Structure 1
């Protein structure tokens, strides 16, 4: 099963390609809800002192006005990305006054859909489009699932690696075509083995009852106490059937194909241009007000939820599929990571080092094309792991066979050891094998996984999910308020915030195009040359 992986590792060693893997890039995105002193969802505007959510490069909002998203620029080492994230959050906490950031993926107490304010981005056409897109998500899926928080791990292989690697592989085609094919192989394996991240990193086995509102309690979920629901063997309910998944995929006909970059682009384009009768019933512009950007299967590409996305940075008002078609894949975004409630950053250094091992394993491991049948298996394995991952009897489907999750996890992690050893050599450190050893322990002992630790603490302290998350949020708030930020860096953050507000105002003042024309031009792909 790992013959090609072993062969490729030998080729890297024989051809001494280690230096060409040294400058990989890591970026992080972390979402957190702003909550009030009594731990309710904040109804305040995104603080102006943090800058403009529309134009700030590192501090913005996601779905809700209260859902802050912190973004790091690409860093040379994963640990540097974590340090950058800690610095951003330290700056944010210095500005939040009496509010705090909720430190778990699943939200605090929700007082119904009306409790969730959709994010605002000002009066510019771009700002209005971002808001209306989120209105459309509310009409299509409801608001509650949109305020689930997570962490995205953005990773690019060292650009210097591709040319010598292409030569070693004997490929005579264009370098970009080779690189795109390699990245898509990586993406397929990230999906194929993605259940492992859900098991190892999942930290959302319980939810506040208020999250469901008036919806029935899903099958398999039990009462932990009066205010909390949980799944005894759950790892990441965020990634399960109550989270933000494309659960209407069969009804709406979204079928995204990851076999090549071309099929990926074409299948997404089909979804964003095909009218959907279900969404047509909602209406697009009703009584002069937009309810959604359009009534197509997907309003825009980002509406398709996937655990992994191939990405290319956008230029101006470029559409993601157009950027990929023009310039190919620049990095891969892994989106299945829960916020780790046991660490202020939401992610540990060891977890980050392991993600680097995982990325390179998925790049070098054999990656056959994904059939429609295997795509169903991938979704099944991920859902089963999310809901029952710590069950010692739970079995996954692997190459047509039923295997115990724990056995498959151990096998995969052991297969990654030579990859970890390779990265040790690349960077002259032992951190990669060390982090792998720590993850192997979780495969042998589910009781020390983050999800199990969370339930154990709740049992020991007789806490509800709300009380556990409140306690951890308070601990992390204290950590960040005590943490000192370098004065020069604090000044840089302040200047960026001020500049972003000026930039937003300049965009609003300079616009001449009406919104209807702007939206039509964007959806048709003719706004690409306009710089935001």
Structure 2
């Protein structure tokens, strides 16, 4: 059953536009040496200045490059850009250097103060030092995939014209639709963690002695042992989201609004306080582990599935406002249960997961999506029925002496060798001129 907005979109034959999200990808990986230790090499000079290059920058550590794609209209385009940027990074690595393909970091030094924080300018460096004092070096080291989604302008215009009494202007439409999306993704984060979680164990020295997990799990990174603050956001609406974060800063729980590392973030204004007035421009999804079966950390089918979910959330009824926090607090607890389950065992919420797959199948048929979506959903249904086919469970086949190091290095070497065979790696990051999005797209499309 569609919502009123969903009915409007369906009746205007615009459903296809609800999955035509502009998509940008951000993928972090660790640089390691040939033995699996965190690299001691400096930031690669051939990819420019980490402080000014928006497409190849650094995250928490100096050894954690982050690849950022320009916004793309289609999943395949986003992946095309990511592959080109990934190859440019690999071509710039020092001899013997590799990119670690797992979300959980490689073995860390016993003295973690040996790890080098990213050099991102005085303000960011001060923030990283303060963050480390509040948390730990280990907590900042897991890597993942962030997906930025922007709703097609046609949908925003259609909703604005169809509900003039409900929305006073375009910004109100944007804020409402992005809040609906955020609620949907937070509500079903546990589902995504089950399907794509890929961090079952930690390497040496990630946990302090006597701490951490006592058995493999689906996703350390997506559990309460994972990255970031445990501060919960308020996704009732955009103003509530901003107020909750601002309150966290005032109470000293957060050092700044940047420290809010929720599984979904509203984006659109560098000044968070102004976001409700200027309007959300996109959401950032932060709930995917690196997929080690891909050299770039994510697969095209995964992106298609995320787009399908987003379309489904827009078309179906939103949560009642009074119920948002209760439902999403419960969803956070569900996610932690799923993240900490044995990866080879059925999900505690298996029946709910199967019901969600069926709902998505009905929706995909209803709006006549292509056969590739049916195939994706069939594969994911098999993951729900057969937990041993999930990414985390598959990784357990390669554990040796409580470590995935041998597997990760084999993958890393294979991906590095393949990248070195690329005929025309992009060389445009080393000069003084930083390409803008349009220039970069033209170069990457060659």
> Is 1:443 paired with 2:377?
no
Corresponding residue for 1:525? none
SS at match of 2:119: coil
Q: 1:21 to 1:372 in 2, by over 3 A?
A: closer
The correspondence of residues 395-474 of structure 1 with structure 2, limited to 5 A, is 395=348, 405-421=349-365, 425=369, 429-458=370-399, 464-474=403-413
Alpha-carbon contact 2:68-2:82 (below 8 Å) kept: yes
Aligned position for 2:256: 300
**1:393 Cα deviation from its structure 2 partner:** 5.9
Local SS of the residue matching 1:239:
coil
Among 205, 210, 227, the residue aligned to 1:210: 205
Do structure 1's residue 144 and structure 2's residue 142 form an aligned pair?
A: no
**3-state SS of 1:485 partner:** coil
* Matching residue of 2:103: 105
Structure 1 residues 323 and 470: alpha-carbon distance in aligned structure 2, compared to 1, 3 A threshold: farther
Cα deviation for residue 211 of structure 1 reads 1.1
Residues 201, 337 of structure 1: 8 Å contact kept = yes
Match of 1:482 among 418, 421, 425: 421
CA distance in 1, matches of 2:85, 2:183: 32
Instruction: Give 1:114 deviation, angstroms.
Output: 1.8
Residue 200 of structure 2 contacts residue 396 of structure 2 at CA under 8 Å; is this kept in 1? yes
Q: 1:17 to 1:375 in 2, by over 3 A?
A: closer
CA deviation map 1:330-380 (0-9, x unaligned): 111110100001111111111111111111122223222345543431221
Aligned counterpart in structure 2 of residue 131 of structure 1, from 125, 128, 131: 125
Match of 2:243 among 266, 280, 283: 266
Counterparts in 2 of 1:169 and 1:441: CA distance versus 1, 3 Å: farther
How far the C-alpha of 1:33 sits from its partner, in A, is 0.6
Residue among 367, 377, 390 paired with 2:330: 377
The answer to whether the 8 A contact 1:70-1:88 is kept is yes
Q: Secondary structure at the match of 2:334?
A: helix
Structure with greater Cα Rg = 1
For 1:423 and 1:110, locate their aligned partners in 2 and report how far apart those are by CA, in whole Å.
49
Q: Quick check: 1:87–1:485 contact (8 Å CA) kept in 2?
A: no
- Contact kept, 8 Å, 2:6 with 2:316, in 1: the verdict is no
Matched, 1:235 2:218: yes
User: Which residue does 2:116 correspond to in 1?
Assistant: 117
Let me know the Cα RMSD of the aligned residues.
Answer: 2.3
C-alpha spacing 1:430/1:130, structure 2 compared with 1 (3 Å) = same
- Does the Cα contact within 8 Å between 1:27 and 1:78 map onto a contact in 2? no
| Distance in structure 2 (CA, Å) of the matches to 1:14 and 1:371 | 28
In structure 2, relative to structure 1, the CA distance for the partners of 1:22 and 1:104 (3 Å cut) is: closer
Deviation of residue 19 (structure 1)? Answer: 5.8
Cα drift, residue 271 of structure 1: 1.9
The answer on whether the counterparts of 1:203 and 1:339 sit within 8 Å (CA) in structure 2 is: yes
The CA distance in 1 between the partners of 2:310 and 2:342, in whole Å, is 22
CA distance in 1 between counterparts of 2:167 and 2:28 reads 43
The corresponding residue for 2:65 is: 68
What CA deviation, in whole Å up to 9, does each residue of 1:224-283 have, x standing for no partner?
A: xxxxxxx1xx21111113211424x4xxxxx53210111111121222233xxxxxxxxx
Cα 1:37–1:22 change in 2 (3 A) is closer
Equivalent position of 2:35 in the other structure: 38
Distance 1:307 1:175 in 2: 26
User: What does the per-residue CA deviation read over 1:288-324, in whole Å, with 9 as the maximum and x for residues that have no partner?
Assistant: xxxxxxxx32122121221111111x5xxx43x1452
- Change in Cα spacing, 1:494 to 1:433, as seen in structure 2 (3 Å) is farther
Q: Is 2:248–2:254's contact at 8 Å kept on the other side of the alignment?
A: yes
TM-score by length of 1: 0.76
Matched, 1:256 2:250: no
1:366 corresponding residue in structure 2:
317
How far is the alpha carbon of 1:11 from its aligned partner? 4.1
- Distance verdict in 2 for CA 1:187–1:371, change over 3 Å: closer
- Name 2:286's counterpart in structure 1: 335
| Partner of residue 442, structure 2 | none
Give the one of 45, 49, 52 matched to 2:46: 49
CA contact (8 A) 2:219 2:340 kept: yes
